[in-house]
Chains A and B, each alone.
Chain A
Amino acid sequence: MRFSTATPMVAIMVEMTLIDAVTTALAWELDHDPRVVVLGEDVGVNGGVFRATAGLQARFGADRVQDTPLAEGMIAGVAIGMAAQGMIPVPEIQFMGFIYPTVDQLISHAGRLRNRTRGRMSCPMVLRAPFGGGIHAPEHHSESTEALFAHMPGIRVVIPSSPARAYGLLLAAIRDPDPVVFLEPKRIYRLNKQNVEDNGKALPLDVCYTLRQGSDITIVTWGAMTFETLKAADQLAKSNISCEVIDLATISPIDYETILESVEKTGRLVIVHEAARSCGVGAEVAAIVAEKGLYDLKAPIRRVTGYDVVMPLFRREMDYMPSVSKIADAVRETLED
């Protein structure tokens, strides 16, 4: 991990992974906003179990980058208390599998505080957690349960899928005046590197990012599945099938316009996500296209998702998840319909 030692006005391009981008964005905000506090289990001296906060405590001190006792509900609860009293806490939950004790605090307080006080109080905080499968992790370390959070009114859910988007979207999430659950696809934490300018420029929330233009079919996906999907799109391109690939990025609220415009153009839609199918975010995307874009569709919508089972332990985890061939087949079938 490298930090910019250049003068602030000179933004330099740094080649970085997705997790480097998370660290770099946290450092930028810690450096530029004294209200920002990073807290969580092992985020301080140890720099996080995935190293997302590596070097931050040494640079900003133990007050700004705090190791907490081990209680996730507590981490969320004190973050809400801090946020309501003028700080911008960025708590880390070590793995999504341990995020569930935070649910009470998020649904009962974070997402409601502004509303229930008619704007007297607000809750600017970003709860970060790594999520998703594919890294041969132990039990409870591989699930994708973003839909739980997308169902909470008042909570934004954001998932980056590249170093540049991790940097820009995390900055935006921290600067957003309302609570954000920021889920980091850990399988692609170090999958590739990208040149990212550490210039403090945020990317917009609440919009999709079109990763690849195409004309035959729209594929909506997010997180680590963008990689599988882009690979499938490459493969399909060899058969002259032109896929438009859209990264949802903000899982809630969803930017329907980009999706509807794309479906209007292509007439076909496949949705790809790691999470279990039933009541997944894909169902919401399909519903909105059915409600507002049905007459643009030339074929039924297909979903390529995890199955509605307990996520298998890692010997079989890849069989649970969408794969390049599952995605490519779903595209072909949709085109044949």
Chain B
Amino acid sequence: METIADFEIQYSQFLDPAGKPSADIPELARDTGKLIDMYRHMVQTRVFDTKAINLQRTGKLGTYASCLGHEATHVGLAAAMQKDDVLAPSYREYGAMLYRGVRMSEILLYWGGDERGSDFEGPKHDFPFCVPIATQCLHAAGAAMAFQLRGEARCAVSVNGDGGTSEGAFYEAMNIAGARKLPVVFAVVNNKWAISVPIELQTASKTLAQKAVAAGIPGIQVDGNDVIAVRHWVERALARARNGEGPTLVEAVTYRLSDHTTADDASRYRKKAEVEAAWKLEPLIRLRQYLADIGAWNEKKEKALLQEVAANVDAEVQRYLNMPKQPIEAMFDYMYRDLPEFLEEQRDHAIQYGDSDGGHHG
């Protein structure tokens, strides 16, 4: 017998939970402007998320999936992308989506039961939220096929969770991406929990990054609470992809500090001590500490930032709350480019009953 294949999975962290460098800080982090930009987006995401939960609790929003704890992973991967790249998110990547120009009011509209939430003003070519788990990995691979065919220097990035790595679509996407050297990055947000199923029950794999090995593509595990590590490795993966060297899997290890959604109660299946321990690793504190240590941040700046993002959130919440419902016929009018005749009758019927039953036309 001889060993004919072997693999190693690297782990990377630049900032430890206390904000102290645990490895040589990469080039991007020497640019204080970049670090502050990411910190601002992380804080913005956290404040937005907190507000969204409040809106749900007060009956102004439907079920909402919080991204608490994922801020570094989201912002780091989006900051690594270029504007023309395409993001194929799941349903929780607000930090990434906001960074790329999706509006907070659009995210609220989506969870507030209005399809216009996926009609982004900003990144027109980004895929909308994806709820069926890991199916978006294939859309990212397909987008990358389109870019490759047209000879465009663009990449696609899909994001799915630890649970998503059990899905066939995840493997299938990595497999064709590897075979074709597609310009795509598969970001896996390992937040340890798929609703109530812990990672130990999800897989016997020691890392999720090693799931790349069978597809013949590189996989790396990074500290998903370290925005520098996420951005650095996703940037490297994108540069590689743009250079025709093919896809990469980047596993970002973080923790879902919230319930799965507002309809969930994680205390039913998760120990308090585990969550408390995870809070000590959360992403905002370490970056703030690091910025303070290098003299780029202080109490005054923090206070001003919090005021600024709160005002942004309030304005977007107002925009959301002021948005009238769509007309009834909107449910028909986007099914096909041209409404087939048989739907006209149903459309008229819906309009008629919407009015007589007290529905609103906006």
Residues of A within 8 A of B (CB): 37, 63, 68-69, 71, 73-74, 76-87, 89, 101, 104-105, 108-109, 113-122, 153-154, 177-178, 206, 253-254, 256-257
Contact = CB atoms under 8 A, between A and B. Distances in A.
A85 B87 CA distance: 12
A73 B138 contact: yes
A85 B342 contact: no
Contact of B139 (A104, A109, A120): A109
A78 B182 CA distance: 12
B116 A77 contact: no
7 contacts: A73-B168, A77-B172, A79-B142, A81-B127, A87-B149, A104-B132, A109-B135
B139 A80 contact: yes
Contacts of A108: 131-132, 135
* Interface-central residue, B139, B142, B149, B330, by most chain A CB under 10 Å: B142
B115 interface: yes
A115 B172 contact: no
A78 B175 contact: no
A38 to B, nearest CB: 12
A115 B334 contact: yes
Contacts of A84: 127, 139, 142-143
A104 B131 CA distance: 12
Contacts of B156: 81
Interface string B112-154: 0001101110001101100110010111111111110110000
A114 B335 contact: yes
Nearest to B131: A108
Interface string B147-176: 101100000100000000000110011011
B337 A122 contact: yes
A119 B119 CA distance: 8
B334 A82 contact: no
B335 A115 contact: yes
A62 to B, nearest CB: 11
Nearest to B147: A85
A88 to B, nearest CB: 10
Interface string B334-362: 11110011110000000000000000000
* Interface-central residue, A74, A87, A254, by most chain B CB under 10 Å: A74
Interface of B: 86, 88, 115-116, 118-120, 124-125, 127-128, 131-132, 135, 137-147, 149-150, 156, 168-169, 172-173, 175-176, 179, 330-331, 334-337, 340-343
B336 A154 contact: yes
Contacts of A115: 115, 331, 334-335
Contacts of A77: 135, 137-139, 141-142, 169, 172-173
B29 to A, nearest CB: 32
Nearest to B120: A120
A105 B173 CA distance: 13
A120 B124 contact: yes
Given A115-B335, A120-B124, A81 B115 contact: no
Given A105-B135, A114-B336, A153-B335, A71 B175 contact: yes
A85 B145 CA distance: 9
Contact of A118 (B116, B137, B139): B116
Contacts, number: 137
Contacts of B119: 117-120
B168 to A, nearest CB: 6
A89 B143 CA distance: 11
B334 A253 contact: no
B138 A80 contact: yes
A197 to B, nearest CB: 27
B337 A114 contact: yes
A121 B139 CA distance: 13
Given A77-B172, A85-B143, A117-B128, A104 B135 contact: yes
Contacts of B140: 81
A206 B336 CA distance: 13
Contact of B118 (A101, A120, A153, A177): A120
A178 B334 CA distance: 11
A116 B115 contact: yes
Nearest to B340: A253
The 10 closest A-B pairs by CB, nearest first: A81-B142, A77-B138, A78-B142, A74-B172, A81-B139, A118-B119, A85-B146, A177-B337, A253-B340, A82-B142
A42 to B, nearest CB: 15
A122 B137 CA distance: 18
A178 B336 contact: yes
Contacts of A73: 138, 168-169, 172
B104 to A, nearest CB: 18
Nearest to A288: B342
Contacts of A105: 135, 138
Nearest to A67: B179
Nearest to A207: B341
A79 B118 CA distance: 20
Nearest to A64: B149
Contacts of A37: 149
B238 to A, nearest CB: 17
Contacts of B179: 69
Contacts of A63: 149
Nearest to A63: B149
A178 B149 contact: no
Nearest to B134: A77
A72 to B, nearest CB: 9
A87 B119 CA distance: 20
A312 B280 CA distance: 62
Contacts of A121: 127-128
Contacts of B330: 118
B343 A82 contact: no
A74 B169 CA distance: 7
Contact of B342 (A74, A117, A253): A253
* Interface-central residue, A108, A109, A178, by most chain B CB under 10 Å: A109
Nearest to B168: A73
A154 B119 CA distance: 18
Nearest to B124: A120
Contacts of A104: 132, 135, 169
A118 B115 contact: yes
A118 B334 contact: yes
Nearest to A154: B335
A113 B120 CA distance: 13
